[in-house]
Amino acid sequence: MLTDSVQARLDRARNADSVISVVDRTGRGVGIATEATPEGDSTLTWQFAAEQVRDVAVGASKQFVWDATSTETGTGRSMIHAFYRPEKAPWRRSAEFAQFTVAHLSDTVLPYPYPQMTTIEGPIGGGIESLMVTLMGDLSSSEALFGVTYHEISHMWFPMLVGTNEKKYAWLDEGTTTFNETEGRSAFYPDQNAWVRSEHNHRSVTFVEIPSMRHADRYPVDGPARFVASYDKPGVMLHALRGILGAETFREAYRMYAERWTYEHPTPYDFFNTFEDVAGRELDWFWRGAFYESWTMDHAIQSVSCQGDSTVVTVADEGRLPMPVFLKATYADGRTVERRVDVDAWLNGRRQVEVVLEGESVSRVVLNPDGVLPDLYRSNNEWTPSAPSGKSESTP
Mean pLDDT on 104-131 = 94
Give the tens place of pLDDT for each residue, 30-54: 889 998 877 766 788 889 999 988 8
CATH classification for the domain delimited by 4-161, as one of 3.10.180.10, 3.40.30.10, 3.40.50.2300, 3.30.2010.30: 3.30.2010.30
Tell me the helix, strand and coil percentages in the chain, rounded to 5. 35, 20, 40
Report residue 279's pLDDT band, with 50, 70 and 90 as the boundaries. Answer: very high
Closest CA to 396 of 354, 361, 352, 365: 365
Cα–Cα distance, 269 to 145 (Å, whole number): 33
b/e 120-147 (16+ beta carbons within 10 angstroms → b): bbbeeeebbbbbbbbbbbbbeebeebbb
Q: Where are the domains of the chain?
A: 4-161, 170-292, 299-383
Give the tens place of pLDDT for each residue, 309-346: 999 999 999 999 999 999 999 999 999 999 999 999 99
Residues of the chain with pLDDT > 70: what percent?
94
Mean pLDDT on 249-259 = 98
b/e 246-275 (16+ beta carbons within 10 angstroms → b): eeebbebbbeebbeebbeeebebebbbebb
- More confident call, 390 vs 263: 263
With a cut of 50, say whether residue 388 has pLDDT above it. Answer: no
Mean pLDDT on 274-289 = 98
Cα–Cα distance, 116 to 76 (Å, whole number): 11
The fold adopted by the segment(s) 170-292 is: Neutral Protease; domain 2 (1.10.390)
Whether the CA torsion 121, 126, 130, 131 is positive or negative: it is positive
With a cut of 80, say whether residue 104 has pLDDT above it. Answer: yes
Helix (H) or strand (E) holding 340: strand 336-341
Mean pLDDT of the chain: 92
Report helix, strand or coil for 92.
Answer: helix
- More confident call, 241 vs 377: 241
Question: Which amino acid is it at 152?
Answer: E
The answer to whether 149 and 98 have CB atoms below 8 angstroms apart is yes
pLDDT at 219: 87
Question: Which amino acid is it at 237?
Answer: M
Looking at the structure, give the CATH architecture of the domain made up of residues 299-383.
Sandwich (2.60)
Query: What phi and psi values does residue 195 have, to the nearest 5 degrees?
Result: -75, -30
What's the predicted TM-score (pTM) here?
0.92
Q: For 287, how many CA atoms within 13 A lie in the half-sphere containing its CB?
A: 15
Give the tens place of pLDDT for each residue, 20-29: 999 999 999 9
Query: What phi and psi values does residue 203 have, to the nearest 5 degrees?
Result: -65, -30
Residues β-bridged to residue 280: none
Cα–Cα distance, 228 to 289 (Å, whole number): 15
